[in-house]
Amino acid sequence: MSQTPLEWIKLELLPLPGAQDYQALVLWWNPQERVLEGEGKEVILDLVTSALDKGSLQTGSGAHIEVTDPLHKPSELAAVLAQYYWVIPQPVAAAGEDPMPNINNTKLN
């Protein structure tokens, strides 16, 4: 039995210590369509625009990452978000959907 690939990613964003100007957010992202949905998406789109204007970001380890298309490239969006948030990603079938565990495939031991 083959499952259809999930096109959306639910992003739970928790502000890092010291990022007191930022609120926790829950957004849905479709990297293939370059779409971000959810309340507060404007905050993230502003961060994306700023990163694109700079052209690169420095990671927490001191490395630099080029930023060319963060709404399409997971590594670039991760670098943008990691400046201000802990990110908890979960694949989902559609925007607004909460992931549900498949209890038929869950093993407890």
Query: pTM of the full predicted structure?
Result: 0.83
Per-residue pLDDT of the chain (109 residues; tens, 9 = 90+): 456 678 999 999 999 999 999 999 999 999 999 999 999 999 999 999 999 999 999 987 888 999 999 999 999 999 999 999 999 999 998 888 777 555 444 444 4
What pLDDT does 108 receive? 45
Backbone angles phi, psi at 65, to 5 degrees: -125, 130
CB of 23 closer than 8 Å to CB of 15: yes
What pLDDT does 101 receive? 52
Cα separation of 35 and 14, whole Å? 20
What pLDDT does 84 receive? 96
Task: Tell me the β-bridge partners of 11.
Answer: 27, 89
Sequence-distant (≥ 6) Cβ neighbours of residue 11 within 8 angstroms: 25, 26, 27, 28, 29, 81, 87, 88, 89
